[in-house]
A and B are shown apart, each in its own frame.
Chain A
Amino acid sequence: MRFALSDEQRQFAESIDQLLSASDPAKANRAWAQGQHEPGMRIWQALAELGVQALIVPQQWGGIEATPVDLVVAFERLGYHAVPGPWVDTVAALPALLPEDHPLAERFLPGVASGETLASLVLRPHVPYALDADVAQARLLLDGAALRRFSPGQVLSSMDGSRRLFEPVPGAENEADTGADTGAGTVTAETEAAFDMGVLATAAQLLGAGQWLLDASVTYAKQRKQYGREIGQYQAIKHLLADVATELELARPLVHAAAIALGGDTAARDVSAAKVACARAAHLAARTGLQVHGAIGYTAEHDLGLRLTKVRALVSAWGTQAVHRTRVLRGMPEHGRVG
């Protein structure tokens, strides 16, 4: 047993951090919310050069077939920096949805790997709206076992402005699509796999967002003075932040274990456990972060708000807490010992 990230995985995370620290994702996030995609797309391209989008794409289609652990390492960083765009759909769920020999694999996956193709997925019932469907080339909707194309219908506004959601209009014609059903009528196993992968990537994003909220709050608590002292000296503040740190620390191993479990019997239970714990921890981090920041945190100018609304949106995206707790309950074993 070796339950720790490898040096390569740590370095991978660091290189993503370096890239993102230099490219102002918060600004891109705000532009994205206005429908201005260029800054966000520049980051998208830059990350493709690091191989982020190619992680779980088969080699045959230009991918690097990395492990799901590598994938969650990347998604934690994407969540940390609040990078806008349909990352979960494109990078995590789509490759899982399209088995190697699927007719659409050749069509979409090479573009995913190279950073040219964006995907927007609708997986009913838990993913009913299409994220960023206006910029996505691969727009796929799962209805029962049938995989169909859709085009973006009415735009909906999310509490997280950078999550641009659309009503999917199934089967409609548009330039990129021929509009027909794909013919691949039986994708049940892949649907499960795609959902699990999406859930896991969302959990990792939540974890990263929660960690950013904690880090920012700790930094602020060391600087902000009231009554002549840094507010971080007050136990009322310390204890709130210590609880956030504890929840985040203990959520992280669930994400890594779920990544290991993908493909096995306990995958559904384990990704759901990870999502429940990460959502809880990130939500606590957001609520606490706002409290620690006071009114400044409640402004649209401050980056705290980007995470606060994103976290709450992600708590319900890809399955609510209740949905995932139910999946956990269904999968709880007779005993929790190893082996």
Chain B
Amino acid sequence: MDLDLDERTTAFRDEVRAWLAENVPKRPLASFDTAEGFEQHRRWEAKLADARLSVVSWPREYGGRDASLLEWVLFEEEYYAAGAPGRVGQNGIFMLAPTLFSHGTPEQRKRILPAMARGEQVWAQAWSEPEAGSDIAALRSTATRTDGGWLLSGQKVWSSRATYADRAFGLFRSDQDSERHRGLTYVMFDLRADGVRVRPIPQLDGEPGFAEIFLDEVFVPDADVIGEPGEGWRVAMTTANNERGLSLRSPGRFLAAADRLVRLWRETHGDTETALAARVADAWIQARAYQLYTFGTVTRLAEGGELGPESSVNKLFWSHLDVGLHETALELLGPDAELSGKTGWPEGWLFSLAGPIYGGTDQIQRNVVAERLLGLPRGQR
């Protein structure tokens, strides 16, 4: 058991570190939930892609560099430690791309992945519906067979980035008589196609970070169905738990935030305030624990293991860590805690509050851990 990096990995890490030191924008980009910020972020994604740093774990032919899972985790550490911009393309890169790698056709991969890697096409995830949040199998939006493809109708909601994004992917009920997990089809569609209306929804900070999507007989060709029609649930689920399931939140972000918290504590309080010191220590310990836990997962996967319900353990852990860490920072800031646009912490706090909700709420994750990891009996839903 060791934590030593081999030569190849060290070289990769050093290269990444040097490139980021040179290229990370000196002034933070505008929020990607504004029109201006979105375009700035697209350009940043293109720049990353030019250096082959946009999607390091992908195969070379799609713009990646075949980086190992460990290298990807270290890349993320470097990325966030350098203060690099958030990834506007993350839904596509971390959710659609793995789905295409497992279930897509070669044609789909070639058409979609390189443009995604360069930020030329930014994707939104259209899973949630007004009546289907935690219970995603309750979805009602439909896909109806037509010549050479399907007609999509219905309504999606809470779709991150959809306000400015180009395309979206989601599940639709293709067999009207089916129930729950059966008869669903996984489809990609154009957010600017005829019959699509996107209504931006402002989030707590006032910016349209997510949106509602109304679909009225929107045509999608067969080429934009992933996997077999009717098999959408399986397509969605096999990738939800695959190794990139880890990618929703790698430790890099939390480590960087913990570093900033430690710095803030040293600057503002030193060792005078014991009540807050304990919370700072705990935040740091948890960020470190998550990093090490991830190294354990990476080792297991590299040795042929699979990622199961542990991804729910991950999610539960980091969502709490993130909120706690930001709340501690706000305490340290005192009266400055409410000032936006100055320290970044209040904005970070608002964002951290969404962690226990999106991607499956904490309650749903606890159900998964209890039933699938601990083997407790399923109860009434």
Chain A residues packing against B (C-beta within 8 Å): 1-6, 9, 67, 69, 214, 218, 221-222, 229-230, 232-235, 237-239, 241-243, 245-246, 249-254, 256-257, 259-260, 273, 276-277, 321-322, 325-326, 328-329, 332, 334-339
Contacts and interface: CB of A to CB of B under 8 A. Distances in A.
Given A246-B317, A253-B293, A260-B1, A273 B285 contact: yes
Interface in B294-323: 295-296, 298-300, 303, 310, 313, 316-317
B329 to A, nearest CB: 15
B293 A325 contact: no
A245 B376 contact: no
Residue among B255, B303, B379 with most chain A CB within 10 A: B379
Contact of A218 (B295, B300, B374): B374
A223 to B, nearest CB: 11
Nearest to B289: A250
Residue among B285, B303, B370, B371 with most chain A CB within 10 A: B285
Contacts of B3: 1, 3, 257, 260, 338
A336 B291 contact: yes
A30 B85 CA distance: 59
A250 B39 CA distance: 39
8 contacts: A4-B299, A4-B303, A222-B376, A235-B363, A242-B366, A254-B285, A260-B1, A276-B281
B237 to A, nearest CB: 20
A273 B288 contact: yes
Given A218-B375, A233-B376, 16 more contacts: A1-B6, A1-B295, A1-B298, A3-B3, A238-B367, A239-B366, A239-B367, A242-B374, A245-B374, A246-B317, A249-B313, A254-B288, A325-B282, A336-B256, A338-B3, A339-B10
For the residues of B in contact with A, the DSSP-based class is: helix
Interface stretch (B21-29, B70-78, B117-125, B141-149): B70-78
Contacts of A234: 379
B38 interface: no
Interface in B256-286: 256, 258-259, 262-263, 271, 274, 277-278, 280-282, 284-286
A3 B377 contact: no
B292 A233 contact: no
B44 interface: no
B81 A242 contact: no
Interface in B97-156: none
Interface residues of B, number: 62
B4 interface: yes
Contacts of B256: 336
Nearest to A70: B1
Given A254-B289, A336-B255, A338-B13, A241 B296 contact: no
Contacts of B70: 1
Interface string B349-381: 000000000000001011101110111111110
A254 B285 CA distance: 9
Given A335-B259, A337-B81, A1 B4 contact: yes
B74 A338 contact: yes
Contact of A235 (B6, B10, B285, B379): B379
The 7 tightest CB contacts between A and B, nearest first, are: A233-B379, A238-B370, A253-B292, A242-B369, A242-B366, A325-B281, A232-B376
Contact of A325 (B278, B289, B303, B378): B278
